[in-house]
Chain A
Amino acid sequence: MVARDLLNRLKEMLGPALLRVDTPADDRIFIHVERDAIRAVCRHVFRDLGARYVISIGADDRPFSGQYLVAHDFAFDAAHLLGSVVTHVPEGDPRLDSITPDVPAANWAERELRDLVGIEPVGHVEPKRLILPDGWPEGAHPLRKDVAWNFVPEGYDPERAFKFGEPPPGCTVVPFGPFHPTLDEPAHFRLYVEGEVVRGCEYRGFMVHRGIEKLAESVLSYNDIPMAAERICGICGCVHNVAYAQAVEEAAVLRAPPRAEYIRTIMLEIERLHSHLLWVGLACHILGFDTLFMQSFRIREPVMWIAEKISGNRKTYALCLIGGVRWDLTLELIAELRRVLDTLEAEWRAVIKAVLGDKNVQQRARGVGVADRSLVQELSLIGPVARAAGVPLDCRRDHPYAAYDRVEFEVVTHEGGDVWARIVVRMKEVLQSIEIIRQCLDKMEPGPIQLAITDELPVGRYGLSSVEAPRGESHHFVITGENHRPRRWRVRAPTYQNLQAVPAMIKDQQLADMTITLGSIDPCFSCTDRFEIVDLATSTTRVWSAEELARLARAGRR
């Protein structure tokens, strides 16, 4: 209904610039437009129709259509519709109007487009490098199809440094990261500090890019990728695993059996449980309150144990294949899971009571790191950050997947948009997750857990999938392809959007609030960077130079 309405409006507005529209399902729309119309369409969709920006995808489509492909994904949450504005860019002129002036949320995605696919966003407000390392030569774009997955560029210049902006007058530069005790992963915030007040901030991250997407479209196959996908994140990997499987299933018009959908739901909620418990602990550690940090880790541990009993692992459950899941829940496991949930609920209610009544925590967290409604809308923030600003946004309800359309739960929101609101939202969501798992256990019926897929998957189809990760919406875009692997697979982890708001959230705040503000979005740099950290443990005290490390890394890769 909404899709049709949208279609009519766009037809009227664009005329011949609108090339084609596909609506493969009631809740999906793919709008193919002329290259020159892209900015106007996106502005209309974002500004006039109030859609939420999700991500931009750049793909090298030259071997198939002789052109590059760019898609800007949007979500109409109230209307339960996910859409994509698709256009093609000719090989000889890889340039496209930037949408960032109208859609600020697209800032990073378009910079990524430029770095990895080599499509220049014309008129971008901040045309700096985002993902490629500082010394990487111009003109080498790893996601192009003529670049091998183990490509090492000529002319890498280790001396070249990133050009940061000028600090505001009267401010001192305080580097926050790349290594900081409360950052579990490297990321660099260059803070401009006046006294103890932060006046501005610039981000340089992506120090840990792994090139998982490139790997997927060049050497892995459909059923290998879920296992690589769940290694994107150290905490909420199952989210990527499920989101990828769903995107491929959607593209191939498959549907996993009902029992598999329930098991996916249960595992996703188990993951949310341990992720939120971890987060509450870490937030307390950041606030200098180590007692609750220890307590929430203790409460969390049985959840990890039951996950291990179900899947064999505390993390990386290796859950999904295309068209189903690999693990079934036995009656014993279900009984034990129920027991774990009962204990967890009782203990967690006690913690909620203690924390929500604590004036000291409130003093530290109220009015800190505010992301209000307008910022949420402008930067398309998601997950607990949006819900803490009173925006009821939850993919489980808005874009139902797995078995979420068969369970009842409340979308927890809170007013204020500050760190305190995020604490409240996450703490209460734990209880909702417990309820969801219980309902799934009640409703689940015996049956197959895996589709028998005998044919090859169709080629060149698009699939979108949004999964509500503990940190917000995790969005996957897949174009199916030849040789049992996708042509393009794009992952947008929740932190990718939320991290872009940190400079706005930290402005004019105390330096001491930087860590809790950053911590309050529950950042996951590995998700954002899609990279893996390798620990080179040596017993000698030899110091590795940067070149030696690079040589070592390359030797391992060949």
Chain B
Amino acid sequence: MIAGVPPSAATMFEALDQLFVSLKHWLVGQLPPAWQSWVSLAISAAAILGVFMTLFALTVLIERKGLGRIQNRYGPNRVGPWGLLQPIADLIKMLTKEDLVPSGADRVVHFVAPVVMVVPVLMAYAVIPIGRNMAAVDFNAGLLFFFAVGACIELAVFMAGWSSRNKYSLLGGMRAIAQMISYELPLILSTLPVVMLAGSLSLVDITDAQAGHSGGWLARWHVFTPWGLAGLLLFTVAATAESNRAPFDLPEGESEIIAGHLVEYSGIKYALFFIGEYLGMFAVSALGITLFLGGWRAPVIWLEWVPSYMWFFLKLGGFVALFIWLRGTLPRLRADHLMNLAWKFLLPLVLLNAVSAALWHYTAPWTFVGAGLARWLLCGSLVGVPYVLLGRRLFAGQHIGPRTYRMAA
């Protein structure tokens, strides 16, 4: 199965790769048949919860350290060696803080909002293949399910903004709704080419569609096609906005509307929102990995011995690093610029990208010399040229009309 290694080693790598899967099967096998399916699901859920919560704690620490380095300072370095125990200190702080609810708030909605934030995000992980044979549920409409539960985040943010009975909260909630609905569209449409070419909505099938190697060594990931590359970039921009990360962190916009929908939250409820945002970021990165970066597959044939879940988390780490880097580098956008970017820039490009994918599909039978290059140029320019033209228009100086102001009289 694995190229370039002797059969005995291959068996060992195979065992390592399937370690967690076999462990679960063995555990489940010990139980009476009536329980098996339920316990199997429970184990998967517990594993997802444990792994991604740990990842969350680590990411917060790495983010604070990384931002510190970008900004020429140390970051947390007081709790434990190199500040490694900072997440635990943060957890204790969050758990012991006073839980404040404004007297005018809608108490029920205010209470439910953080739960609505976290639960659907966790559900989204069910359909993502973390490694070979490691999807909790192989759902044949997995992608649809992912976006459906992902849309609950918008609801949670608006619930928080509305129920707090605070104008800044409401403004934050409104901004969040406008932003997330606008970016939902390019986000979903940027995944359209993948579905078109893989012919399935199941994330497991989509990963399998990226199996095999071109030229005998390079993986057939979607990102190695013109539409896949453009799709990944568009997807990443939309995903950053969808997960409210800098430079799209307008709903919180600390310096403008204080903390938006989070103004009236404290203690563990605030922590739940915080967790929800990071889990959302991981989930959407995981989706990007599955759709464009071959999921858990190795990039080149002679690295296939590395266990599949390691590849998945390596790629996820790459995404997280990218998000941190972006946050350290870019200033926040303004609400109307954000909308322009979604509707006037991303949306036309994702639609053109779908056309480009179709073209790629129908030019596949070309066999003349230099056909590969011709296909790349054709499909690439279909997205690349509009990118340049639209970008130029977006950055062109807007016309400022004459301003009038009447002094108090």
Contacts and interface: CB of A to CB of B under 8 A. Distances in A.
Determine if chain A interacts with chain B: yes
A515 B72 contact: no
Interface centre among B70, B254, B330, B407 (most CB of A within 10 A): B407
B255 A508 contact: no
Interface centre among B333, B337, B403 (most CB of A within 10 A): B403
B72 A180 contact: no
Which size bracket describes the interface of B in this complex? Answer: 35 or more
A208 to B, nearest CB: 21
Interface stretch (A78-86, A233-241, A323-331, A363-371): A363-371
A328 to B, nearest CB: 35
Interface centre among B171, B255, B334, B403 (most CB of A within 10 A): B255
Interface string B314-343: 000000000000001111111111000000
A418 B73 CA distance: 32
B336 A378 contact: no
Contacts of B67: 290-291
Contact of B334 (A107, A182, A293, A510): A510
A367 B331 contact: no
Contacts of B70: 291
Interface stretch (B245-253, B264-272, B290-298): B245-253
Given A298-B72, A367-B400, A288 B405 contact: no
Given A196-B335, A370-B403, A512 B253 contact: yes
A287 B71 contact: no
A495 B334 CA distance: 26
A552 interface: no
Contacts of A538: none
A140 interface: no
Which size bracket describes the interface of A in this complex? Answer: 35 or more
Contact of B331 (A126, A180, A361, A510): A361
B249 A288 contact: yes
A512 B72 contact: no
A361 B408 CA distance: 33
Interface string A172-197: 10110000111000000000000010
Given A289-B331, A370-B400, A182 B255 contact: yes
B24 interface: no
B407 A284 contact: no
A290 B256 contact: no
Contacts of B334: 363-364, 510, 512-513
B37 interface: no
A287 B328 CA distance: 13
Interface centre among B72, B328, B408, B409 (most CB of A within 10 A): B408
A289 B67 CA distance: 12
Interface centre among B246, B332, B397 (most CB of A within 10 A): B332
Interface in A65-84: none
A125 B407 contact: yes
A375 B405 contact: yes
Contact of A366 (B168, B246, B249, B397): B397
A545 interface: no
B395 interface: yes
B402 to A, nearest CB: 9
A512 B335 contact: yes
Contacts of A511: 171, 256-257
B197 to A, nearest CB: 34
B119 to A, nearest CB: 30
Nearest to A284: B331
Nearest to A182: B255
A182 B259 CA distance: 12
Nearest to A519: B255
B258 interface: yes
B398 interface: yes
B258 A181 contact: yes
Contacts of A150: none
B167 interface: yes
Contacts of B407: 104, 107, 125, 378
Contacts of B331: 284, 287-289, 358, 360-361, 364
Interface string A286-319: 1111110111001000000000000000000000
B332 A294 contact: no
Nearest to B73: A294
B335 to A, nearest CB: 6
26 contacts: A126-B408, A174-B168, A181-B254, A182-B255, A182-B256, A284-B331, A285-B255, A286-B255, A288-B332, A289-B331, A290-B71, A290-B328, A291-B329, A294-B73, A295-B72, A360-B247, A360-B333, A363-B334, A363-B337, A364-B331, A367-B400, A507-B405, A512-B253, A512-B334, A515-B255, A515-B256
Given A196-B335, A361-B331, A512-B256, 18 more contacts: A104-B407, A125-B407, A172-B167, A196-B175, A285-B255, A288-B246, A293-B71, A294-B72, A298-B72, A359-B395, A363-B337, A367-B398, A367-B400, A507-B403, A507-B405, A510-B335, A512-B250, A513-B334
